[in-house]
Amino acid sequence: MDLLVFLYLALGMCIPGLLAVLSKNPVHAVLWVLVLIIHQAFLLYTLGSEFLAAVQIIVYAGAVLVLFLFVVYMINLRMEERWRVFVKRSSLGLLILLFFAFFFFKSLAFLTALSPHFKANLHYDLSQGTNLWWIARYLFTHYLFQFELIGVLLLVVVLGAVFLLRKLKEVEGDSL
């Protein structure tokens, strides 16, 4: 049963990733990436990492994809199809695909050759608390300043994007 769930989640990540790359509509591409991220979160959950699964859903599916959609709508894409340019550069894309496929299979062969009794050397005991409790304790004791700094930085980025969009709409309103 575990193998079937893993194969479903693997296909649920590979197919939307391919469809996101091949999609002509940028909004559809972002939605395919959303499907990919949700499947990746479920894979993390099946591996026993509940916190990373929740972060995957909240941060990537919630914040980053909303930012992508915001940028897609902000740049006002024209519906131009440049099929001839794509066909001319498809040989370069094929070479890059073969290059990455070679390294993918090389790393896959390396990972399968590892001994299965490998165990990470963790300095905490999961019997004393959940992995969420340990990660939160470590994050808020050792990296509290960096955590707060990233929050302030993200707030400034969002306010800057809203300010730029507002100025852009004022300039467009004046030109009409």
Same-domain check for residues 73 and 140: no
In a domain, 44, yes or no: yes
In a domain, 145, yes or no: yes
Mean pLDDT across the stretch 121-144? 74
User: Which residue do the tokens 């050759």 mark?
Assistant: 113
Domain count, the chain: 2
Please report, for the domain that includes residue 27, its CATH number. Answer: 1.20.120.1200
Q: Is the pLDDT of residue 16 over 70?
A: yes
- Identify the domain containing residue 170 by its residue range: 134-176
Mean pLDDT across the stretch 20-35? 85
CA atoms within 13 A on the CB side of 147: 10
Q: Is the pLDDT of residue 132 over 80?
A: no
Of 54, 78, 102, which residue is a domain's last? 78
Lowest mean pLDDT among 68-72, 103-107, 113-117: 113-117
Of 78, 96, 116, which residue is a domain's last? 78
Same-domain check for residues 68 and 138: no
For 35-68, how does the pLDDT look when each residue is reduced to its tens digit (9 = 90+)? 998 999 998 888 877 888 888 888 888 877 777 7
Mean pLDDT taken over the chain: 77
Of 46, 78, 110, which residue is a domain's last? 78
In a domain, 116, yes or no: no
Q: Global pTM? A: 0.51
For 94-103, how does the pLDDT look when each residue is reduced to its tens digit (9 = 90+)? 888 888 888 8
157/115: higher pLDDT: 157
